[in-house]
Structure 1
Amino acid sequence: MTKKLLIDTDPGCDDAVAIAAAVAHADLELVGLSTVAGNTTLENTTRNTLAILELLDRTEVPVARGCDRPFCRDLVHAEEVHGPGGIRGDMPEPTAEVIDDHGVSFIVEQARAHGDDLTIAAVGPWTNLAAAMHLEPDLPDMVADIYLMGGAAMTGGNVTPEAEFNVYVDPEAASHVVQYARPKMGGLDVTNRSKVAPELIEDYARRGVPFETIAAWFGYEDTDAIRERGIDDPPSVHDAAVVIDIVDDIFEYETYPVEVNTGHGPSRGATICDTRGAPGEEPNVDVAVDVDLERFQTTLAETLENL
């Protein structure tokens, strides 16, 4: 049965792979994309989203521009990882434009329109999702599932020793989401291991449009460099793993009480996962604790062949 999917995103190379997988998988219907500031500015993430859809010849998918900054913080971006403007590869000039709806309103409207046929995947900072839940408090009960890419429940962070990027960017939004959404959280515990084979990246780099650009997304590197040097140890494609889990159950989940540290200093954005089973602590998040890497790699490669 086809699942209706809305992706809230901040492209970003791994976001781009996630979007490609979503439009290519036969069991997913991508009903829309909302953009958020994160890996780069909102202007760039929105332009990148439109360019990704242009590249994949899916410009009919609606794109709604969302929040341009975290709730209470200055924006921290990751262009040093994803490239100038937030994405690698030879990207086309977008011909489509964003819809009139704000990204937060768009999330709520899609939830009301599709109800429990809809799955939401938030793979950037969770600002839009938290704001949508303020606008429509019943949103988590209206939809089938809410998936998150973010957090580091039982492992170290990738921004600080404790914090994962999406949570670190907007810990106040993340705190609200984990408290009230009862989400499935695919954090660094599993996505750090979600890499594709070097041979696939090197093959894509020689295959032409759109695969040579996807190779750049996989490698977080220019395609020419991949052709010349190859890839020894590919980076993780965090966001794509969450999309593949939605259709192929590649993650193993355990349910725990989870909180987010909204303070300042070295613990900002830490995902606090209580594995002790302490009395009085109610489990509120399905935490991904393991990933079937072989199935992830196989399903993602097979899916992208549909492009």
Structure 2
Amino acid sequence: MSQKVLLDVDPGCDDAVMLAMALAAPDIDVVGLTTVAGNTTVDNTTRNALAILELLDAADVPVARGAGQPIVGELDTAEEIHGPNGIRGDLPDPSTEPVDQHAVDFTIDRARELGDDLTILAVGPMTNLATALVKEPDLPSLVDDIYLMGGSASGIGNKTATAEANFHNDAVAAKRVVRSARPRMVGLDATNRATVPLDDLDELLSSPPPLDAFGAWLDYPEEVRQFGEGSDPAVHDAAVVAHVLDDVLAFEPAHLDVEVGEGPFHGAVACDRRDEVGKEPNAEVAVDIDVEGFRALVDRTIERLRG
């Protein structure tokens, strides 16, 4: 039986790689996408999501537009990393429109409909998910698992010295989610090692669609590759789907909280894995990744896209 997944995304190049992996895998059933502002505006992330689905012959997957601003603070986009309008590569014009339902309500309805057959993967700012938890506090008990791509248990960030970009962009939402959702947090501690060698990049970029776009999604600027290992880019969001496919991540229980103040630790994660504060774990934290297993799944996706 295929694992049913709902993907909360802000495409974004690593989101696009993740979507390609999920859609190409026969044992994953993508029941919908919800979009959020993050890597770029929600107008762009919604259009990018529709265009990626069009490119990958999956335009029947419903897309629900979500939050355009963080709960508190100003949106801080990343077009300098992901490209104009939030994504690189040639994408077709979408032939479909978003569904006539907000992402929050779409998420709650899918959770009530599918129950513990559903896994939620949130890989952008946590605004939609936090709002869904306000409207439906039982959401975590309705579904199988809730995964987050965000945070840094080590306290070493990529947006600031201490904060990962998704948690930094909406720290209030991230705080609500780690406190209420009992999530599996896949942060930089694992995803900085979710790297893809670029040996075949030129071949991908010169291939017919959709492989040329897939290559463009991996072709991060040189200054961004420092967050991976060596010169290979880290494809953070893709690590989450890779684990759903093949258990490539190792998790440990921890008690988490998120700093929401406006100082230098805004969006930083306080992670207690040693029971220093005397509170029960409220999450599982990814502490390691099978790099070769992850890369094998990326290679398998490329072969499936090659046809």
The TM-score bracket by the shorter chain reads: over 0.9
Matches within 5 A, 1:177-196: 177-196=177-196
CA contact (8 A) 1:155 1:188 kept: no
Q: Residue 97 of structure 1: SS of its match in structure 2? A: coil
Report what 2:107 is aligned to: 107
Q: How many residues align?
A: 298
Q: Residue 212 of structure 2: SS of its match in structure 1? A: helix
Q: Distance in 1 between matches of 2:70 and 2:277?
A: 34
Report what 1:144 is aligned to: 144
Structure 2, unmatched stretches of 5+, are 222-229
CA contact (8 A) 1:152 1:270 kept: yes
How far did residue 155 of structure 1 move?
Answer: 4.7
CA contact (8 A) 2:78 2:86 kept: yes
In the alignment, does 2:156 pair up with 1:156?
Answer: yes
Structure 1, unmatched stretches of 5+, are 222-231
Q: Distance in 2 between matches of 1:261 and 1:248?
A: 32
CA contact (8 A) 1:219 1:234 kept: no
Q: Distance in 2 between matches of 1:200 and 1:104?
A: 39
In the alignment, does 2:167 pair up with 1:170?
Answer: no
CA contact (8 A) 1:149 1:239 kept: yes
Match of 1:303 among 281, 301, 304: 301
Q: Residue 45 of structure 1: SS of its match in structure 2? A: helix
Cα offsets for 1:208-267 (capped at 9, x unmatched) = 11001100001136xxxxxxxxxx823211001111111111000001111000111100
CA contact (8 A) 1:88 1:220 kept: no
TM-score, reference length from structure 1: 0.94
Structure 2 residue identity aligned to 1:291: I
Report what 2:30 is aligned to: 30
Cα offsets for 1:124-160 (capped at 9, x unmatched) = 0000001011111000000000011000101510011
Q: Distance in 2 between matches of 1:91 and 1:279?
A: 49
CA contact (8 A) 2:256 2:282 kept: yes
CA contact (8 A) 1:218 1:234 kept: no
How far did residue 275 of structure 1 move?
Answer: 2.6
Report what 1:42 is aligned to: 42
In the alignment, does 2:242 pair up with 1:244?
Answer: yes
CA contact (8 A) 1:8 1:121 kept: yes
Match of 1:290 among 274, 279, 288: 288
Give the CA RMSD over aligned residues.
1.4
Q: Distance in 2 between matches of 1:23 and 1:33?
A: 12
How far did residue 204 of structure 1 move?
Answer: 1.6
Structure 2 residue identity aligned to 1:107: T
CA contact (8 A) 2:155 2:269 kept: no
